[in-house]
Structure 1
């Protein structure tokens, strides 16, 4: 009897785990937003701080970079 219960639990896990993983991965798939080129450029410019050094004003280490220049 105990062997049957262990086998049943193993079988349920063997079948349920891949289905649960599939459901989780499938749930992450959402439609992507399509942008025009002009809208994409506008959003990209809004995300930058206007400097060419690759740092953000509030980023870690940005004060040290300003001190060296």
Structure 2
């Protein structure tokens, strides 16, 4: 994923582990491009990334969205 997105392995790991809860807009754009996410799914991902607190909406958190997209990519 790091190679495809141009993001560092650490950045992706931090997102996956929830260490980064408010990722930079460009990071989300790069991940979305690497995962071929567009349309409504891209809008949902961007909205989730803008949330300040995972506690506000755990199911909508950027981490959950990213995990789901990576799962889809790995398992078709």
- Structures share fold, TM-score greater than 0.5: no
Larger radius of gyration: 1
TM-score, length basis structure 2? 0.22
Q: Which has the higher contact order (CA 8 A, sep 6+)?
A: 2
